[in-house]
Amino acid sequence: MKSKANFRPAGAICLVGVFATILLFMVSTVAWADEPKPVQLSKPRTADSPLMQILAKRSSARTFSPQPLPMNVLSDLLWAANGINRPDSGRRTAPSAKNMQEIDIYVATAEGLYLYDAKAHVLKPILQGDIRAMTGTQAYVKDAAVQLLYVADDSRMGTLKEQDKLVYAAADTGFISENVYLFCAAEGLATVVRAGMDRTALAKLMKLTPDQRIVLAQSIGYPKK
Ligand SMILES: Cc1cc2nc3c(=O)[nH]c(=O)nc-3n(C[C@H](O)[C@H](O)[C@H](O)COP(=O)(O)O)c2cc1C
Protein backbone atom coordinates (compact mmCIF):
# COMPACT_ATOMS: atom_id res chain seq x y z
CA MET A 1 0.00 0.00 0.00
CA LYS A 2 1.35 3.39 -1.03
CA SER A 3 1.92 5.89 1.72
CA LYS A 4 1.01 9.59 1.46
CA ALA A 5 4.75 10.27 1.64
CA ASN A 6 5.07 8.93 -1.96
CA PHE A 7 2.74 11.59 -3.45
CA ARG A 8 4.82 14.03 -5.56
CA PRO A 9 2.97 17.30 -6.40
CA ALA A 10 5.70 18.44 -8.81
CA GLY A 11 5.32 15.25 -10.86
CA ALA A 12 1.52 15.63 -11.01
CA ILE A 13 1.79 19.25 -12.17
CA CYS A 14 4.29 18.19 -14.83
CA LEU A 15 1.86 15.50 -16.11
CA VAL A 16 -1.04 17.99 -16.27
CA GLY A 17 1.23 20.36 -18.22
CA VAL A 18 2.06 17.67 -20.77
CA PHE A 19 -1.64 16.82 -21.24
CA ALA A 20 -2.53 20.51 -21.59
CA THR A 21 0.17 21.00 -24.24
CA ILE A 22 -1.04 17.94 -26.24
CA LEU A 23 -4.66 19.17 -26.00
CA LEU A 24 -3.68 22.67 -27.12
CA PHE A 25 -1.73 21.21 -30.05
CA MET A 26 -4.73 19.06 -31.09
CA VAL A 27 -7.15 22.00 -30.86
CA SER A 28 -4.86 24.30 -32.81
CA THR A 29 -4.29 21.62 -35.49
CA VAL A 30 -8.04 21.15 -35.91
CA ALA A 31 -8.55 24.96 -36.09
CA TRP A 32 -5.77 25.30 -38.70
CA ALA A 33 -7.33 22.54 -40.84
CA ASP A 34 -10.66 24.47 -40.80
CA GLU A 35 -9.11 27.89 -41.56
CA PRO A 36 -10.94 29.25 -44.63
CA LYS A 37 -8.65 29.88 -47.58
CA PRO A 38 -8.90 32.94 -49.90
CA VAL A 39 -10.96 32.12 -53.00
CA GLN A 40 -9.09 33.01 -56.17
CA LEU A 41 -11.53 34.74 -58.52
CA SER A 42 -11.36 34.47 -62.28
CA LYS A 43 -9.87 37.35 -64.27
CA PRO A 44 -12.52 40.10 -64.87
CA ARG A 45 -13.81 39.79 -68.46
CA THR A 46 -13.47 43.51 -69.09
CA ALA A 47 -13.64 43.13 -72.88
CA ASP A 48 -16.68 40.84 -72.99
CA SER A 49 -19.63 43.19 -72.47
CA PRO A 50 -20.26 46.90 -73.08
CA LEU A 51 -20.88 47.46 -69.36
CA MET A 52 -17.60 45.80 -68.36
CA GLN A 53 -15.73 47.87 -70.96
CA ILE A 54 -17.28 51.07 -69.57
CA LEU A 55 -16.54 50.10 -65.96
CA ALA A 56 -12.92 49.48 -66.94
CA LYS A 57 -12.74 53.09 -68.19
CA ARG A 58 -14.53 54.85 -65.28
CA SER A 59 -12.27 57.44 -63.66
CA SER A 60 -12.09 60.99 -62.35
CA ALA A 61 -10.46 63.70 -64.47
CA ARG A 62 -9.48 67.24 -63.49
CA THR A 63 -8.50 68.80 -66.81
CA PHE A 64 -11.18 69.89 -69.26
CA SER A 65 -11.45 71.39 -72.71
CA PRO A 66 -13.75 74.47 -72.82
CA GLN A 67 -15.70 72.91 -75.73
CA PRO A 68 -19.43 72.94 -74.91
CA LEU A 69 -21.51 69.77 -74.89
CA PRO A 70 -23.89 69.40 -77.88
CA MET A 71 -27.57 69.51 -76.86
CA ASN A 72 -28.15 65.81 -77.60
CA VAL A 73 -25.18 64.83 -75.40
CA LEU A 74 -26.40 67.04 -72.53
CA SER A 75 -29.89 65.62 -72.96
CA ASP A 76 -28.65 61.99 -72.84
CA LEU A 77 -26.35 62.82 -69.91
CA LEU A 78 -29.26 64.11 -67.82
CA TRP A 79 -31.51 61.20 -68.72
CA ALA A 80 -28.71 58.76 -67.83
CA ALA A 81 -28.11 60.65 -64.57
CA ASN A 82 -31.67 60.50 -63.22
CA GLY A 83 -34.17 60.49 -66.05
CA ILE A 84 -37.43 58.55 -66.12
CA ASN A 85 -36.78 55.05 -67.50
CA ARG A 86 -40.24 53.60 -66.66
CA PRO A 87 -42.84 56.15 -67.78
CA ASP A 88 -45.74 54.06 -66.37
CA SER A 89 -44.53 54.56 -62.81
CA GLY A 90 -42.32 57.64 -63.24
CA ARG A 91 -39.36 55.75 -61.75
CA ARG A 92 -35.84 56.79 -62.59
CA THR A 93 -32.48 55.52 -63.91
CA ALA A 94 -31.08 55.93 -60.35
CA PRO A 95 -32.67 54.27 -57.31
CA SER A 96 -33.80 56.41 -54.38
CA ALA A 97 -34.63 55.47 -50.80
CA LYS A 98 -38.38 54.74 -50.49
CA ASN A 99 -38.61 56.10 -54.07
CA MET A 100 -38.63 59.60 -52.53
CA GLN A 101 -36.83 61.07 -55.57
CA GLU A 102 -35.58 63.87 -53.35
CA ILE A 103 -32.49 64.79 -55.39
CA ASP A 104 -32.79 67.55 -57.98
CA ILE A 105 -30.10 68.21 -60.56
CA TYR A 106 -29.22 71.84 -61.22
CA VAL A 107 -27.21 72.38 -64.40
CA ALA A 108 -24.72 75.26 -64.70
CA THR A 109 -23.49 76.03 -68.22
CA ALA A 110 -21.89 79.10 -69.86
CA GLU A 111 -25.43 80.38 -70.54
CA GLY A 112 -27.00 80.03 -67.13
CA LEU A 113 -28.29 77.86 -64.32
CA TYR A 114 -31.14 75.44 -65.02
CA LEU A 115 -33.16 72.85 -63.12
CA TYR A 116 -33.54 69.45 -64.78
CA ASP A 117 -37.24 68.54 -64.84
CA ALA A 118 -37.11 64.77 -65.44
CA LYS A 119 -40.86 64.38 -65.98
CA ALA A 120 -41.01 66.87 -68.85
CA HIS A 121 -37.33 66.21 -69.77
CA VAL A 122 -36.67 69.95 -69.98
CA LEU A 123 -34.22 72.41 -68.45
CA LYS A 124 -36.08 75.06 -66.50
CA PRO A 125 -34.20 78.38 -66.43
CA ILE A 126 -33.24 79.54 -62.91
CA LEU A 127 -30.52 82.18 -63.45
CA GLN A 128 -29.07 83.90 -66.46
CA GLY A 129 -25.26 84.10 -66.74
CA ASP A 130 -22.26 81.90 -66.06
CA ILE A 131 -21.93 80.75 -62.42
CA ARG A 132 -19.75 77.68 -63.16
CA ALA A 133 -16.62 79.08 -61.45
CA MET A 134 -18.65 79.64 -58.25
CA THR A 135 -19.79 76.00 -58.07
CA GLY A 136 -16.49 74.79 -56.59
CA THR A 137 -13.28 75.77 -54.90
CA GLN A 138 -11.02 73.91 -57.35
CA ALA A 139 -9.23 75.84 -60.13
CA TYR A 140 -10.36 73.41 -62.86
CA VAL A 141 -14.08 73.97 -62.15
CA LYS A 142 -14.32 77.05 -64.38
CA ASP A 143 -13.00 75.05 -67.38
CA ALA A 144 -15.58 72.25 -67.58
CA ALA A 145 -18.52 72.84 -69.93
CA VAL A 146 -21.15 71.68 -67.45
CA GLN A 147 -21.42 71.64 -63.67
CA LEU A 148 -24.13 69.47 -62.13
CA LEU A 149 -25.29 70.35 -58.63
CA TYR A 150 -27.06 67.60 -56.72
CA VAL A 151 -29.56 69.22 -54.36
CA ALA A 152 -31.59 67.31 -51.75
CA ASP A 153 -35.08 68.59 -50.95
CA ASP A 154 -35.81 67.73 -47.32
CA SER A 155 -39.51 68.49 -47.81
CA ARG A 156 -39.77 65.34 -49.95
CA MET A 157 -38.36 63.15 -47.18
CA GLY A 158 -41.35 63.38 -44.85
CA THR A 159 -40.82 62.81 -41.15
CA LEU A 160 -37.57 60.86 -41.36
CA LYS A 161 -34.99 61.41 -38.63
CA GLU A 162 -32.38 64.05 -39.52
CA GLN A 163 -29.60 61.45 -39.68
CA ASP A 164 -31.62 59.23 -42.06
CA LYS A 165 -32.28 62.22 -44.31
CA LEU A 166 -28.54 62.87 -44.56
CA VAL A 167 -27.70 59.20 -45.23
CA TYR A 168 -30.45 58.68 -47.84
CA ALA A 169 -29.69 61.93 -49.66
CA ALA A 170 -25.96 61.11 -49.77
CA ALA A 171 -26.58 57.55 -50.99
CA ASP A 172 -29.15 58.62 -53.60
CA THR A 173 -26.74 61.28 -54.89
CA GLY A 174 -24.01 58.65 -55.15
CA PHE A 175 -26.16 56.54 -57.49
CA ILE A 176 -26.87 59.53 -59.75
CA SER A 177 -23.22 60.52 -59.76
CA GLU A 178 -22.14 56.99 -60.72
CA ASN A 179 -24.65 56.99 -63.60
CA VAL A 180 -22.94 60.20 -64.79
CA TYR A 181 -19.50 58.62 -64.39
CA LEU A 182 -20.58 55.62 -66.50
CA PHE A 183 -22.22 57.81 -69.15
CA CYS A 184 -19.02 59.89 -69.38
CA ALA A 185 -16.84 56.78 -69.64
CA ALA A 186 -19.04 55.52 -72.48
CA GLU A 187 -19.08 58.87 -74.33
CA GLY A 188 -15.40 59.77 -73.95
CA LEU A 189 -16.21 62.68 -71.59
CA ALA A 190 -14.15 63.78 -68.58
CA THR A 191 -15.82 64.07 -65.18
CA VAL A 192 -15.19 64.37 -61.46
CA VAL A 193 -17.64 64.41 -58.57
CA ARG A 194 -16.88 67.14 -56.04
CA ALA A 195 -17.59 67.93 -52.39
CA GLY A 196 -15.31 70.99 -52.32
CA MET A 197 -17.49 74.11 -52.56
CA ASP A 198 -18.80 77.04 -50.51
CA ARG A 199 -22.28 75.59 -49.92
CA THR A 200 -23.67 78.63 -48.11
CA ALA A 201 -22.61 81.12 -50.81
CA LEU A 202 -23.72 78.76 -53.59
CA ALA A 203 -27.13 78.07 -52.02
CA LYS A 204 -27.69 81.82 -51.80
CA LEU A 205 -26.60 82.36 -55.40
CA MET A 206 -28.88 79.52 -56.57
CA LYS A 207 -31.78 80.95 -54.54
CA LEU A 208 -32.36 77.64 -52.75
CA THR A 209 -35.10 77.36 -50.10
CA PRO A 210 -34.27 76.42 -46.47
CA ASP A 211 -35.42 72.85 -47.28
CA GLN A 212 -32.84 72.44 -50.04
CA ARG A 213 -29.26 71.22 -49.39
CA ILE A 214 -26.45 70.92 -51.93
CA VAL A 215 -25.02 67.42 -51.47
CA LEU A 216 -22.33 67.21 -54.16
CA ALA A 217 -21.36 68.76 -57.49
CA GLN A 218 -19.98 67.12 -60.61
CA SER A 219 -17.91 68.67 -63.42
CA ILE A 220 -18.35 67.34 -66.96
CA GLY A 221 -16.66 68.26 -70.21
CA TYR A 222 -14.52 67.04 -73.05
CA PRO A 223 -11.05 65.97 -71.94
CA LYS A 224 -8.25 68.50 -72.48
CA LYS A 225 -6.11 67.39 -75.43
C1 LIG B 1 -18.00 62.10 -51.99
C2 LIG B 1 -16.85 62.45 -52.90
C3 LIG B 1 -16.32 63.74 -52.85
C4 LIG B 1 -15.28 64.10 -53.72
N5 LIG B 1 -14.82 65.39 -53.71
C6 LIG B 1 -13.86 65.76 -54.58
C7 LIG B 1 -13.42 67.12 -54.63
O8 LIG B 1 -13.91 67.99 -53.94
N9 LIG B 1 -12.43 67.44 -55.51
C10 LIG B 1 -11.88 66.50 -56.36
O11 LIG B 1 -10.99 66.87 -57.15
N12 LIG B 1 -12.27 65.20 -56.33
C13 LIG B 1 -13.25 64.81 -55.48
N14 LIG B 1 -13.71 63.51 -55.46
C15 LIG B 1 -13.14 62.54 -56.43
C16 LIG B 1 -12.19 61.57 -55.71
O17 LIG B 1 -11.01 62.27 -55.34
C18 LIG B 1 -11.87 60.40 -56.65
O19 LIG B 1 -13.04 59.67 -56.90
C20 LIG B 1 -10.82 59.51 -56.03
O21 LIG B 1 -9.56 60.14 -56.00
C22 LIG B 1 -10.66 58.19 -56.79
O23 LIG B 1 -10.31 58.44 -58.12
P24 LIG B 1 -11.16 57.80 -59.31
O25 LIG B 1 -12.55 58.39 -59.26
O26 LIG B 1 -10.43 58.17 -60.58
O27 LIG B 1 -11.21 56.33 -59.08
C28 LIG B 1 -14.73 63.13 -54.61
C29 LIG B 1 -15.27 61.83 -54.62
C30 LIG B 1 -16.31 61.50 -53.80
C31 LIG B 1 -16.91 60.10 -53.88
Span 145-194, pLDDT tens digits: 999 999 999 999 999 999 999 999 999 999 999 999 999 999 999 999 99
Name the residue type at position 171: A
The residue whose CA is least distant from atom 17 of ligand 1 is: 60
Predicted local distance difference test score (pLDDT) of residue 5: 45
> Which pLDDT score, from 0 to 100, does residue 2 have?
42
How far, in Å, CA of 64 to CA of 113, rounded?
A: 20
pTM, whole model, 2 decimals? 0.87
**How many angstroms does the Cα of residue 59 sit away from the middle of ligand 1?**
9
Alpha-carbon distance of 218 to 94, in angstroms, equals 16
The whole-number pLDDT of residue 34 equals 84
Tell me the CA–centroid distance for residue 194 and ligand 1, in Å.
Answer: 6
Q: For 67-86, how does the pLDDT look when each residue is reduced to its tens digit (9 = 90+)?
A: 999 999 999 999 999 999 99
Residue owning the nearest CA to atom 29 of ligand 1: 193
